[in-house]
Amino acid sequence: MRQKSLELNPKMIPNEEESFWQGVKDCVPTLLGYLSIGFAAGVVEKTAGLSIMEITLMSLLLYAGSGQFIAAGMIAASNPVSAIIFTVFFINLRHLLISAAIAPYFHHLSARKNFIVGSLLTDETFGVAINHLQNKKQASYKWMLGLNITAYLNWFIANIAGGFLGQWIPNPEAFGLDFALPGMFIGLLVIQILSQKKYFVDIMVAISAAVIVVIVSYFSSGSAGVMIATILASTIGMVIERWR
Protein backbone atom coordinates (compact mmCIF):
# COMPACT_ATOMS: atom_id res chain seq x y z
CA MET A 1 0.00 0.00 0.00
CA ARG A 2 2.90 2.38 0.79
CA GLN A 3 4.50 1.75 -2.60
CA LYS A 4 1.18 2.33 -4.32
CA SER A 5 0.67 5.56 -2.36
CA LEU A 6 4.04 6.87 -3.52
CA GLU A 7 3.22 6.02 -7.10
CA LEU A 8 -0.05 7.90 -6.87
CA ASN A 9 1.62 10.88 -5.22
CA PRO A 10 4.95 11.47 -6.99
CA LYS A 11 5.27 14.90 -5.35
CA MET A 12 5.84 13.11 -2.03
CA ILE A 13 9.01 11.48 -3.35
CA PRO A 14 12.03 13.54 -2.25
CA ASN A 15 14.13 14.99 -5.05
CA GLU A 16 17.83 14.67 -4.28
CA GLU A 17 18.73 17.41 -6.76
CA GLU A 18 16.56 19.94 -4.90
CA SER A 19 17.49 19.10 -1.29
CA PHE A 20 19.25 21.35 1.22
CA TRP A 21 22.38 19.19 1.21
CA GLN A 22 22.51 19.20 -2.58
CA GLY A 23 22.58 22.99 -2.39
CA VAL A 24 25.50 22.70 0.01
CA LYS A 25 27.32 20.38 -2.41
CA ASP A 26 26.65 22.64 -5.39
CA CYS A 27 28.27 25.52 -3.50
CA VAL A 28 31.57 23.65 -3.10
CA PRO A 29 33.15 24.87 -6.41
CA THR A 30 32.86 28.48 -5.20
CA LEU A 31 34.29 27.90 -1.72
CA LEU A 32 37.94 28.37 -2.66
CA GLY A 33 37.10 31.78 -4.11
CA TYR A 34 35.09 32.70 -1.02
CA LEU A 35 37.86 31.60 1.33
CA SER A 36 40.67 33.40 -0.50
CA ILE A 37 38.79 36.63 -1.23
CA GLY A 38 37.18 36.63 2.23
CA PHE A 39 40.61 36.11 3.78
CA ALA A 40 42.04 38.99 1.75
CA ALA A 41 39.09 41.18 2.77
CA GLY A 42 39.76 40.41 6.42
CA VAL A 43 43.43 41.34 5.95
CA VAL A 44 42.52 44.67 4.32
CA GLU A 45 39.93 45.44 7.00
CA LYS A 46 42.45 44.70 9.77
CA THR A 47 45.03 46.88 8.03
CA ALA A 48 42.44 49.67 7.85
CA GLY A 49 42.26 49.62 11.65
CA LEU A 50 39.05 47.67 12.20
CA SER A 51 38.72 45.43 15.24
CA ILE A 52 37.75 41.77 15.04
CA MET A 53 34.24 42.67 16.23
CA GLU A 54 33.91 45.30 13.49
CA ILE A 55 35.17 42.84 10.88
CA THR A 56 32.62 40.32 12.15
CA LEU A 57 29.75 42.79 11.85
CA MET A 58 30.88 43.93 8.39
CA SER A 59 31.07 40.38 7.05
CA LEU A 60 27.69 39.44 8.50
CA LEU A 61 25.74 42.62 7.71
CA LEU A 62 27.37 44.00 4.56
CA TYR A 63 28.37 40.59 3.11
CA ALA A 64 29.81 41.95 -0.13
CA GLY A 65 33.34 41.43 -1.35
CA SER A 66 33.76 44.58 -3.43
CA GLY A 67 31.75 46.63 -0.95
CA GLN A 68 33.91 45.54 1.99
CA PHE A 69 37.17 46.21 0.15
CA ILE A 70 35.99 49.69 -0.80
CA ALA A 71 34.60 50.43 2.67
CA ALA A 72 37.87 49.37 4.31
CA GLY A 73 39.88 51.56 1.94
CA MET A 74 37.65 54.56 2.54
CA ILE A 75 37.78 54.03 6.31
CA ALA A 76 41.59 53.92 6.15
CA ALA A 77 41.50 57.19 4.17
CA SER A 78 39.23 58.78 6.82
CA ASN A 79 36.39 59.45 4.39
CA PRO A 80 33.08 60.64 5.90
CA VAL A 81 30.48 58.04 6.82
CA SER A 82 27.96 59.47 4.33
CA ALA A 83 30.45 59.03 1.47
CA ILE A 84 31.18 55.43 2.48
CA ILE A 85 27.46 54.57 2.67
CA PHE A 86 26.69 56.17 -0.69
CA THR A 87 29.63 54.49 -2.44
CA VAL A 88 28.85 51.02 -1.08
CA PHE A 89 25.17 51.46 -1.97
CA PHE A 90 26.07 52.43 -5.54
CA ILE A 91 28.51 49.52 -5.92
CA ASN A 92 25.89 47.03 -4.71
CA LEU A 93 23.08 48.27 -6.97
CA ARG A 94 23.87 45.36 -9.29
CA HIS A 95 22.07 43.12 -6.78
CA LEU A 96 18.81 44.64 -7.97
CA LEU A 97 19.54 43.21 -11.42
CA ILE A 98 20.56 39.73 -10.31
CA SER A 99 17.61 39.55 -7.90
CA ALA A 100 15.22 40.55 -10.65
CA ALA A 101 16.73 37.93 -12.97
CA ILE A 102 16.23 35.08 -10.50
CA ALA A 103 12.92 36.26 -8.96
CA PRO A 104 10.64 34.46 -11.48
CA TYR A 105 11.87 31.10 -10.16
CA PHE A 106 10.62 31.94 -6.66
CA HIS A 107 7.14 33.30 -7.34
CA HIS A 108 5.63 30.24 -5.65
CA LEU A 109 7.26 31.10 -2.31
CA SER A 110 5.95 33.37 0.44
CA ALA A 111 7.23 36.92 0.90
CA ARG A 112 9.21 35.82 3.97
CA LYS A 113 11.04 33.07 2.10
CA ASN A 114 11.70 35.37 -0.85
CA PHE A 115 13.22 37.87 1.58
CA ILE A 116 15.52 35.20 3.02
CA VAL A 117 16.63 34.08 -0.45
CA GLY A 118 17.23 37.64 -1.64
CA SER A 119 19.08 38.82 1.46
CA LEU A 120 21.74 36.10 1.07
CA LEU A 121 22.04 36.21 -2.73
CA THR A 122 25.49 37.07 -4.09
CA ASP A 123 27.12 37.18 -7.51
CA GLU A 124 28.55 33.71 -6.94
CA THR A 125 25.41 32.03 -5.65
CA PHE A 126 23.47 33.69 -8.47
CA GLY A 127 25.90 32.20 -10.98
CA VAL A 128 25.51 28.70 -9.51
CA ALA A 129 21.73 29.05 -9.22
CA ILE A 130 21.10 30.37 -12.74
CA ASN A 131 23.16 27.48 -14.12
CA HIS A 132 21.26 24.96 -11.96
CA LEU A 133 17.85 26.37 -12.93
CA GLN A 134 18.24 26.00 -16.68
CA ASN A 135 15.18 24.37 -18.23
CA LYS A 136 13.31 24.63 -14.91
CA LYS A 137 10.24 26.68 -14.07
CA GLN A 138 10.65 26.82 -10.30
CA ALA A 139 13.49 26.77 -7.80
CA SER A 140 13.64 24.76 -4.60
CA TYR A 141 13.71 26.88 -1.46
CA LYS A 142 15.65 24.20 0.46
CA TRP A 143 18.26 23.90 -2.31
CA MET A 144 18.72 27.67 -2.49
CA LEU A 145 18.92 27.89 1.29
CA GLY A 146 21.69 25.26 1.36
CA LEU A 147 23.58 27.13 -1.36
CA ASN A 148 23.25 30.55 0.29
CA ILE A 149 23.97 29.50 3.88
CA THR A 150 27.10 27.57 2.85
CA ALA A 151 28.45 30.61 1.01
CA TYR A 152 27.49 32.95 3.87
CA LEU A 153 29.21 30.90 6.58
CA ASN A 154 32.35 30.40 4.51
CA TRP A 155 32.58 34.12 3.81
CA PHE A 156 32.23 34.89 7.53
CA ILE A 157 34.88 32.33 8.54
CA ALA A 158 37.30 33.61 5.89
CA ASN A 159 36.86 37.22 7.00
CA ILE A 160 37.53 36.34 10.63
CA ALA A 161 40.59 34.27 9.68
CA GLY A 162 41.93 37.17 7.63
CA GLY A 163 41.32 39.54 10.52
CA PHE A 164 43.26 37.36 12.97
CA LEU A 165 46.14 36.49 10.64
CA GLY A 166 46.24 39.74 8.64
CA GLN A 167 49.05 41.25 10.68
CA TRP A 168 51.44 38.69 9.17
CA ILE A 169 50.29 39.20 5.55
CA PRO A 170 50.84 42.87 4.65
CA ASN A 171 50.69 42.25 0.89
CA PRO A 172 47.97 39.71 -0.08
CA GLU A 173 48.48 40.47 -3.81
CA ALA A 174 51.89 38.79 -3.61
CA PHE A 175 50.10 35.47 -3.04
CA GLY A 176 47.62 35.96 -5.89
CA LEU A 177 44.65 36.41 -3.56
CA ASP A 178 43.44 39.34 -5.64
CA PHE A 179 42.82 37.00 -8.60
CA ALA A 180 40.75 34.42 -6.70
CA LEU A 181 37.42 36.15 -7.34
CA PRO A 182 37.94 36.65 -11.12
CA GLY A 183 39.22 33.08 -11.33
CA MET A 184 36.08 31.76 -9.66
CA PHE A 185 33.86 33.72 -12.04
CA ILE A 186 35.80 32.38 -15.03
CA GLY A 187 35.19 28.83 -13.79
CA LEU A 188 31.45 29.44 -13.36
CA LEU A 189 31.28 31.02 -16.82
CA VAL A 190 33.01 28.06 -18.47
CA ILE A 191 30.64 25.62 -16.74
CA GLN A 192 27.61 27.58 -17.89
CA ILE A 193 28.85 27.86 -21.49
CA LEU A 194 29.59 24.12 -21.71
CA SER A 195 26.21 23.20 -20.25
CA GLN A 196 24.22 25.53 -22.54
CA LYS A 197 26.18 24.69 -25.71
CA LYS A 198 25.20 28.03 -27.27
CA TYR A 199 28.72 28.85 -28.36
CA PHE A 200 27.81 31.35 -31.09
CA VAL A 201 25.79 33.55 -28.76
CA ASP A 202 28.40 33.32 -26.00
CA ILE A 203 31.24 34.22 -28.35
CA MET A 204 29.32 37.19 -29.77
CA VAL A 205 28.54 38.46 -26.26
CA ALA A 206 32.19 38.12 -25.21
CA ILE A 207 33.44 39.95 -28.31
CA SER A 208 30.82 42.67 -27.91
CA ALA A 209 31.70 43.17 -24.24
CA ALA A 210 35.43 43.43 -24.98
CA VAL A 211 34.93 45.94 -27.81
CA ILE A 212 32.52 48.08 -25.77
CA VAL A 213 34.89 48.17 -22.77
CA VAL A 214 37.78 49.33 -24.96
CA ILE A 215 35.69 52.02 -26.69
CA VAL A 216 34.08 53.38 -23.52
CA SER A 217 37.43 53.39 -21.67
CA TYR A 218 38.72 55.99 -24.13
CA PHE A 219 36.00 58.43 -23.04
CA SER A 220 35.39 57.41 -19.41
CA SER A 221 36.79 55.31 -16.58
CA GLY A 222 37.38 51.57 -16.78
CA SER A 223 34.69 50.92 -14.17
CA ALA A 224 32.09 52.77 -16.25
CA GLY A 225 33.21 50.77 -19.28
CA VAL A 226 32.61 47.49 -17.48
CA MET A 227 29.11 48.50 -16.36
CA ILE A 228 28.10 49.80 -19.79
CA ALA A 229 29.57 46.72 -21.50
CA THR A 230 27.63 44.44 -19.15
CA ILE A 231 24.31 46.07 -20.03
CA LEU A 232 24.90 46.41 -23.78
CA ALA A 233 26.55 43.01 -24.31
CA SER A 234 23.76 41.18 -22.47
CA THR A 235 21.21 43.07 -24.55
CA ILE A 236 23.04 42.09 -27.73
CA GLY A 237 23.10 38.45 -26.63
CA MET A 238 19.35 38.49 -25.93
CA VAL A 239 18.60 40.00 -29.34
CA ILE A 240 20.81 37.47 -31.17
CA GLU A 241 19.26 34.55 -29.33
CA ARG A 242 15.69 35.66 -30.15
CA TRP A 243 16.46 36.28 -33.82
CA ARG A 244 18.14 32.91 -34.36
Tell me the pLDDT tens digit for each residue of 100-112: 889 999 999 999 9
Cβ atoms within 10 Å of 18's Cβ, excluding its own: 18
- Mean pLDDT in residue range 61-70: 85
More confident residue, 75 or 36: 75
224 has a pLDDT exceeding 50: yes
pLDDT at position 39? 86
State the pTM of this model. Answer: 0.68
Nearest CA-CA partner of 91 in 62, 48, 127 = 62
One-letter amino acid at 73 equals G
Q: Give the whole-angstrom CA distance, residue 163 versus residue 52.
A: 6
9 has a pLDDT exceeding 50: no
Mean per-residue pLDDT over the chain, rounded: 81
Residue 10's pLDDT band, with cuts at 50, 70 and 90, is: very low
Q: Give the whole-angstrom CA distance, residue 168 versus residue 155.
A: 20
CA 51, distance to chain mean position in Å, is 26
